């Protein structure tokens, strides 16, 4: 059965009783070691996460249709949804090709940057996703310290002619474009709360930045995040399973019944 991305994640949450997304983020190393480390950790922790996120840490050294395929195959065999954190951010024709490559490689969803707008921007990505029954998650507010300079700036909204924070406009776009998710950093629970006020339960919030970047576990969940993205805290831990389980124990209190 070819489930949509949202349904795949919902099923995974129910079966694994987890609202954690594992980010396979590892520091630079030999491709063979990156692959073996990633696979070793993924095989240990996959029963405790609802999805896996991969970014350029692995795609660049391993190759999209080479080493990364082994990770995607394992995840697919476990019915574990996969997200490509490529932050699509180009003109429409290029964005379409980027999305097609990642979807054809086996990813269930991509992350895209709403800064490029809809027409000749992200519209082609959403069209391809619909055709292939895949997902698109929008980057609404990042987790690093300099995020305020871009996503936090005050702008004049072209539709309402009112001054709004950039991230609030992006949240509105995630809703109107029917995105499959919105990324808001766990390091900014106040922003999560504001974005959730716009999205409600219509568009789930994925929140990165727990642990290594200083993000709390309780605060983002209380503010409205549905999923926590955990990366270096687990990937660099001496005991990844133990570390992930400790995060899960707190986060699962907020699982929706």
Q: Which residues are catalytic?
A: 87
Give Cβ neighbours of residue 229 (< 8 Å, ≥ 6 apart): 20, 21, 22, 23, 53, 183, 186, 206, 207, 208, 209, 210
Crossing angle for the helix pair 189-199 and 166-176, to the nearest 10 degrees: 40
What are 168's two structure tokens? 């609030």
Tokens 């987790």, residue located: 143
Q: Which of 1, 47, 58, 4 is nearest to 204 (CA)?
A: 4
In the three-class reduction of DSSP (H, G, I as helix; E, B as strand; rest coil), residue 20 is classed as: strand
What are 13's two structure tokens? 């949450």
CA distance 111 to 44: 26
Tokens 């086996």, residue located: 106
């Amino acid at each position: 059965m070819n489930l949509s991305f949202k349904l795949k994640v919902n099923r995974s949450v129910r079966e694994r009783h987890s609202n954690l997304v594992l980010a396979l983020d590892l520091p630079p190393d030999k491709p063979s070691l990156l692959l073996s480390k990633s696979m070793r950790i993924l095989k240990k922790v996959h029963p405790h996460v609802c999805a896996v996120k991969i970014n350029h840490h692995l795609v660049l050294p391993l190759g999209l249709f080479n080493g990364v395929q082994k990770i995607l195959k394992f995840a697919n065999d476990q019915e574990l949804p996969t997200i490509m954190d490529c932050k699509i951010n180009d003109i429409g024709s290029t964005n379409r090709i980027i999305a097609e490559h990642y979807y054809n490689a086996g990813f269930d969803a991509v992350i895209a940057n709403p800064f490029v707008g809809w027409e000749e921007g992200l519209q082609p990505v959403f069209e391809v996703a619909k055709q292939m029954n895949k997902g698109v998650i929008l980057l609404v507010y990042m987790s690093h310290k300099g995020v305020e300079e871009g996503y936090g700036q005050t702008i004049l909204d072209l539709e309402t002619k009112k001054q709004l924070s950039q991230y609030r406009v992006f949240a509105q776009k995630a809703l109107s474009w029917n995105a499959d998710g919105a990324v808001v950093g766990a390091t900014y629970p106040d922003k999560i709360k504001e974005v959730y006020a716009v999205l409600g339960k219509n568009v789930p919030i994925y929140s990165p930045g727990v642990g290594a970047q200083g993000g709390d576990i309780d605060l983002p969940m209380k503010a409205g995040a549905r999923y926590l993205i955990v990366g270096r805290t687990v990937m660099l831990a001496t005991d990844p399973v133990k570390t992930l389980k400790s995060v899960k124990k707190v986060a699962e209190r907020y699982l929706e019944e």
